[in-house]
Amino acid sequence: ETFDIGLRAFETEGIQNISALKEQLISGNHVQAGAINKKFSEVIARWNRLLSDSAGREQRLLEVQNQFRQIEELYLTFAKKASAFNSWFENAEEDMTDPVRCNSIEEIRSLREAHAQFQASLASANADFESLAQLDKQIKSFNVGPNPTPGSPWKPWLTPGRICRASSSRGIVSWLRKK
C-alpha cells in the first residue's frame, strides 16, 4: 500500500514534471527534439512496466493472503472437530476400560442400554473421523507446516497427523471401520 502511494505521488510530481519539461523543450524547437522524444518514450515505457509489475505483485500478494486465510480456516475447523472427536474418544476409552460389576438385573439392563447407545454413536464417530481425515488431506494439499501463522488459536496437540496417528495407534480406525 505504501509502495502504491509512493508510485502515485511520483506519477503526480515526477512524471507530470518530466512531461511538462519535454513539452516545453519540444515546443521551443530544441535542437535535440528527436532524442528528447525518444528518451521520454523510453521513460514512459519503463514507468508503465513498473506500474504493471506493481499491479501484478499486488495481485499475487492478495492471492497468497487469501490462501493463508483458507489454511487458517481449515486449521480452525480441524481444531474444533478434533476437540469434539477427542472428547468422544476419551469418554469411549474410559467407558471401555472400566471394570464391569453388576449386582442386579437392572444394572445389567442399564449397561446393555448404554452399550447399545455407544454402538449407535459409532457411525457418527466414524463420520467425524472421516471428516477429520478429509480436512487433514485438504491442509496437506497446501504443503504447509504444522502451524502456518504464529499465534493461531489451534492447539498443537490437535494437528491432523497427531489425531490420525493417535486414533490409528489405538486401533480405533480399523475398529470403527468394522462397525
What pLDDT, on the 0 to 100 scale, is given for residue 146?
63
Q: Does residue 168 register a pLDDT over 80?
A: no
Rounded percentage of the chain residues whose pLDDT exceeds 90: 28
What pLDDT, on the 0 to 100 scale, is given for residue 154?
42
Mean pLDDT of 103-119: 90
Whole-angstrom Cα distance, residue 66 to residue 60?
Answer: 10
What pLDDT, on the 0 to 100 scale, is given for residue 105?
92
What burial letters (b/e) apply to 46-64, b meaning 16+ CB within 10 Å? Answer: ebeeeeeeeeeeeeeeeee
- Residue 7's CB is within 10 A of a number of other CB atoms, namely 17
Mean pLDDT of 139-166: 56
Q: Does residue 53 register a pLDDT over 50?
A: yes
Please write down the long-range contacts of 79-82, taking CB distance under 8 Å and 24 or more positions apart: 79/153, 79/154, 79/155, 79/158, 81/128, 81/131, 81/132, 81/135, 82/132, 82/158, 82/160, 82/163
Highest mean pLDDT among 112-116, 143-147, 152-156, 172-176 belongs to 112-116
Confidence band, pLDDT 50/70/90 cuts, at residue 30: confident
Judged by phi (left if over 0) then psi (alpha if -120 to 50, else beta), residue 29 lies in left
What pLDDT, on the 0 to 100 scale, is given for residue 147?
54
Longest dimension (CA), the chain: 115
What pLDDT, on the 0 to 100 scale, is given for residue 5?
85
Confidence band, pLDDT 50/70/90 cuts, at residue 170: very low
Handedness of CA 45, 47, 51, 57 (dihedral sign): positive
